[in-house]
DNA sequence: GAGTTTGAAACT
DNA sequence: CAGTTTCAAACTC
């Protein structure tokens, strides 16, 4: 298996995924669909395609794809890792492809994209951005973000990372303490978590999900270039005035904001609460954590590393763990999914992971205490230490019980 | 469900 | 690096 793994990309960085869940999903995906396609979609870890990653461009021809596909399938059989993944069947069956649009109130169980032109190989694609493969519930067209096209995915990813090393890093950086805070301080305290790059909202006043900060449940910060910020999780102004509970808004009347905001916040908070919980869980909080759950993508293969089950983890940032069937996994720390995806108690997952965890793992996510304040940022892949840690994690995957089957 | 709006990502 | 275009999600009707 290879992993892409990663974390959370930004968008989702905030959006997150529950670790546990993500894991499952991936796992599930692998197995389930697979009954049908196992041969094609694979997790093979060691493939090296001719054009592989390095040279790949995001757009490959069908032919290329086919080739890759074939190769992959071949190796796949050999892949030791497969064992790792728990078999779950039919995670998807219940969920036919649907449009990703989520109805209000609908839990966003897991990520599903609806890409039509990007082939799911650009950051526009939530799945791709999150470091996960598209799976059945996705309504994407011409999707290349599948295990079959692992090489393409990895190559594309590299390309994107070369352009922006942090492209797949979690967008929202949370501090360990964030969880509790949000709830109480929510409105005015921005606190611990912030969007890495900040938003650039012009019309949404950072009160809609168009705003990545808002979507991630974090306040706007000095990094934001938003206009008329009213982010209920923390306005840019407040951030700037740090400490001073400045009520001042740049443009607009506060009345509305305050009142409405609070209401909104309350609701949001409720949702976020869940997130926070996740956050509490070290795993979710940490950008790196997500990796665990993801199915690793290829990186290794291209580099000639031996495929290890855990491997995936090592990949620079990607998390891709295969999810075939289920829904896309989401590892990201916070976002939408988290809320919904997480059905399972955070604790459970970690526990499991722990069991398998090797002491050496660079990051301990399992322990509640371990918190990472700052995201790993661009280097993930490179640091050996992490890889090892992740490996462990992955191993655990197999044993991982499905937390909550969604659908 | 179709159409519009929005802002990130990608491109020039 | 700034401006423009493309894209898909979020949102509205």
- Asked whether residue A136 falls in the same domain as residue A161, the answer is yes
Residue A370 has pLDDT above 60, yes or no: no
How many angstroms separate the CA of A393 from the C1' of C8? 32
**Does residue A291 form part of some domain?**
yes
- Asked whether residue A155 falls in the same domain as residue A198, the answer is no
The residue from A233, A253, A275 where one domain ends is A275
The pairing of beta strand A2-3 with beta strand A297-298: parallel
How many angstroms separate the CA of A137 from the C1' of C4? 33
Residue A239 has pLDDT above 60, yes or no: yes
Strand C bases near protein CB (under 7 Å) are 6-11
Which tens digits make up the pLDDT trace of A42-80? 333 333 333 333 333 333 444 443 433 333 333 333 433
CB A291 within 8 A of CB A6: yes
Tell me what the mean pLDDT of segment A132-152 comes to: 87
The pLDDT, as a whole number, for residue A120 is 92
Question: Who's near A327: CB < 8 A, 6+ residues apart?
Answer: A25, A29, A91, A92, A95, A109, A110, A111, A112, A135, A136, A137, A406, A407
Residue A97 has pLDDT above 60, yes or no: no
Tell me what the mean pLDDT of segment A11-38 comes to: 38
Give the residue numbers spanning the domain of A247: 176-275
- The whole-angstrom separation of Cα A123 and Cα A129 is 5
**Does residue A155 form part of some domain?**
yes
The pLDDT, as a whole number, for residue A191 is 52
**Does residue A17 form part of some domain?**
yes
How many angstroms separate the CA of A42 from the C1' of B9? 29
Among A28-37, A65-74, A203-212, A255-264, the range of highest mean pLDDT: A203-212
């Amino acid at each position: 298996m290879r992993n892409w793994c990663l974390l959370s990309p930004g968008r989702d960085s905030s959006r997150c995924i529950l670790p546990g869940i993500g894991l499952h999903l991936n796992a599930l995906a692998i197995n389930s669909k697979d009954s049908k396609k196992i041969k094609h979609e694979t997790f093979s870890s060691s493939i090296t395609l001719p054009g592989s990653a390095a040279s790949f461009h995001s757009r490959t021809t069908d032919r290329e794809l086919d080739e890759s596909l074939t190769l992959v399938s071949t190796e796949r059989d050999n892949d030791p890792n497969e064992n790792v993944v728990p078999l779950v069947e039919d995670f998807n069956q219940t969920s036919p492809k649907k449009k990703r649009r989520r109805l209000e109130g609908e839990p966003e169980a897991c990520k599903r994209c609806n890409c039509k032109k990007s082939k799911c190989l650009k950051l526009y694609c939530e799945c791709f951005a999150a470091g996960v493969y598209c799976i059945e519930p996705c309504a994407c067209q011409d999707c290349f973000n599948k295990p079959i096209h692992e090489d393409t995915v990895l190559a594309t990813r590299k390309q994107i990372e070369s352009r922006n090393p942090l492209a797949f890093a979690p967008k929202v950086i949370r501090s360990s303490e964030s969880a509790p805070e949000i709830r109480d301080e929510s409105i005015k305290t921005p606190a611990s978590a912030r969007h890495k790059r900040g938003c650039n909202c012009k019309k949404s006043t950072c009160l809609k999900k168009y705003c990545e900060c808002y979507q991630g449940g974090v306040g706007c910060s000095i990094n934001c270039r938003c206009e008329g910020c009213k982010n209920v999780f923390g306005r840019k102004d407040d951030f700037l005035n740090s400490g001073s509970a400045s009520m001042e808004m740049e443009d607009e009347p506060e009345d509305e904001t305050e009142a409405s905001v609070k209401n909104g916040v309350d609701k949001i908070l409720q949702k976020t609460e869940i997130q926070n919980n996740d956050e509490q869980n070290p795993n979710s909080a940490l950008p790196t954590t997500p990796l665990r759950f993801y199915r690793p993508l290829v990186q290794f293969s291209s580099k000639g590393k031996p495929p290890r089950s855990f491997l995936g983890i090592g990949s620079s940032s990607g998390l891709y763990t295969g999810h075939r069937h289920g829904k896309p996994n989401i590892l990201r720390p916070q976002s939408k999914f988290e809320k919904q995806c997480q059905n399972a108690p955070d604790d459970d997952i970690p526990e499991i992971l722990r069991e398998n965890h090797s002491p050496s793992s660079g990051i301990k996510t399992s322990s509640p205490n371990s918190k990472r304040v700052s995201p790993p940022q661009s280097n993930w892949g490179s640091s050996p230490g992490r890889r090892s840690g992740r490996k462990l994690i992955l191993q655990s995957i197999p044993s991982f019980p499905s937390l909550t089957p969604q659908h």
